[in-house]
Amino acid sequence: MIVGAAVALLDEHGERGLTFRLLAQRLNTGPGALYWHVANKDELVALAADQVLGQALAEAPRGGEGAGLRALAVSVFDALHRHAWAASRVKAPVKLPNALRLLDRIGTLVARTGLPAERRFAVATAISYYITGVSAQIVAPFTTADVTTDRDAFLTRTAERWKELDPAEYPFLTHTATDLRDHDDRDQFTTGLDLLLGGLNVTADPRPPV
């Protein structure tokens, strides 16, 4: 109940706006009762982020190997996009229950690809770090503990700075400033994900196509 109420308040007010006093009011109890269950705000936000991961795991469609990995990754990205405050709180090495379940499910699906056993840890953790790390990288610029920035305004300002760079020194950035401003976050995430999973397929089954 405490963590669920914290998730709702974090969605409404962000991390800075979450206080034990406000949470106690929401739960019709006193702050002292909350401290009996949770040591401090940092622990509470970590538990709330882990609950968001748990919801993503529950919502992810089940599938075999590649399809299952992709569906799982997209489910996690979508959950962190909906609960942007949680993105930077899902960290490695994983310790909390749902973060552990996420890594275990990734590892189980990787093992089913037929990848040699000695490569499974490295590949599974690489995929896990991509899912959580890239999700945070995409979402976090717009949400911090102090303030939530309008995504479109942030990207427009950044794109304008890119356009002002010297094209002789920054040829790629100056020519893709408009793409930065107009890109879709989910498409950006799945583009990298498909490259990663495509590499896994080749590594697991290196035979050339017939």
**Are 145 and 14 within 8 A, CB to CB?**
yes
| Domain extent listing, the chain | 2-204
What pLDDT was estimated at residue 201? Answer: 82
Looking up tokens 């945070």, which residue turns up? 136
Q: What local confidence, expressed as pLDDT, does residue 145 receive?
A: 45
Q: What is the pLDDT of residue 5?
A: 95
pTM assigned to the model = 0.86
Overall fold of domain 2-204: Tetracycline Repressor; domain 2 (1.10.357)
Nearest-angstrom CA–CA distance, 62 and 85: 27
Kindly report, residue by residue over 145-159, the tens digit of the pLDDT.
455 568 888 899 999
Counting as low any pLDDT under 70, the low residues of the chain are 92-93, 141-149, 205-210
Nearest to 80 by CA among 126, 133, 148, 31: 133
**Rounded to a whole number, what is the distance in angstroms from the first to the last CA of the chain?**
56
Cα–Cα distances in Å, from 163 out to 96, 151, 188? 43, 18, 21
Can you tell me the distance from the alpha carbon of 40 to that of 51, in angstroms, rounded to the nearest whole number?
A: 17
